[in-house]
Amino acid sequence: MGYPITKTDAEWRAVLERKGAEPGAFDVTRKASTERPYTGKLEAQWDEGSYECMCCGNPLFDADTKFDAGCGWPSFSLARPGAVHEITDTSHGMRRTETVCAECGAHLGHVFNDGPSPSGLRYCMNSASLDFNPSE
């Protein structure tokens, strides 16, 4: 699938370095790795604001949709409309729904059907794939 924003691996590495991304952000966002639970800087972030794609700045989630799922990764009950694409992921012998940024294709995490009402969804995101933009 093509995305509106495309760059080479070297260009993505440079973008992430300029933004001061977490170690491993390139592997998470461009190679679909997963960070260890409870290690990401945004897992315990509860300020007002929004969460954007670390690679391209696409607004993904509002802070008021974040909840503590107890899983060790930032979790949200609702993505912004059109912000993410969902892809069937059959890696590691499982069948899951991967979420990627709709603008640049960065791997964000997975979405599960065990979240709170009213959506019933849990967008389980890698902290390294997100950038936090506080409300002013």
124 in active site: yes
- Tell me if 102 sits within 8 A of 1, measured CB to CB: no
The residue from 53, 56, 104, 124 that is catalytic is 124
**Cα 19 from Cα 118, distance rounded (Å):** 34
Other C-beta atoms closer than 10 Å to the C-beta of 86 total 14
For residue 118, is the peptide bond before it cis, meaning its omega torsion is within 30 degrees of 0?
yes
DSSP string over 40-63: STTTT---SEEEEETTT--EEEEG
> What are the structure tokens assigned to 43, written together?
């897992």
Q: Mind telling me the catalytic residues? A: 124
